[in-house]
Amino acid sequence: MSLEEPQPQDVIIEINQIKVAFAANIEEYTRDLVFDYIPESGSFTLLGGSSC
């Protein structure tokens, strides 16, 4: 993951009240994603969804 401005062709969805942008060609793999924070490592992760 990286923090960048969304591109015009990106899909923007809201997961747990956080806006996430991704390439339109992977939209089918993003169903049922959960955006989660891992306190031990101080990082975020996306859980669930389909495997790419």
* pLDDT of 36: 87
**What's the pLDDT score for residue 47?**
86
State the pTM of this model. 0.55
Q: Which pLDDT does position 51 carry in this prediction?
A: 59
**What local confidence, expressed as pLDDT, does residue 41 receive?**
94
**What is the domain partition of the chain in residue ranges?**
10-47
Handedness of CA 39, 2, 21, 27 (dihedral sign): negative
Task: Tell me the pLDDT tens digit for each residue of 1-52.
Answer: 667 889 999 999 887 788 888 888 988 887 787 888 899 999 988 888 665 5
Q: What is the pLDDT of residue 3?
A: 76
Residue 15 CB contacts under 8 Å (≥ 6 apart), including other chains: 33, 34, 35, 46
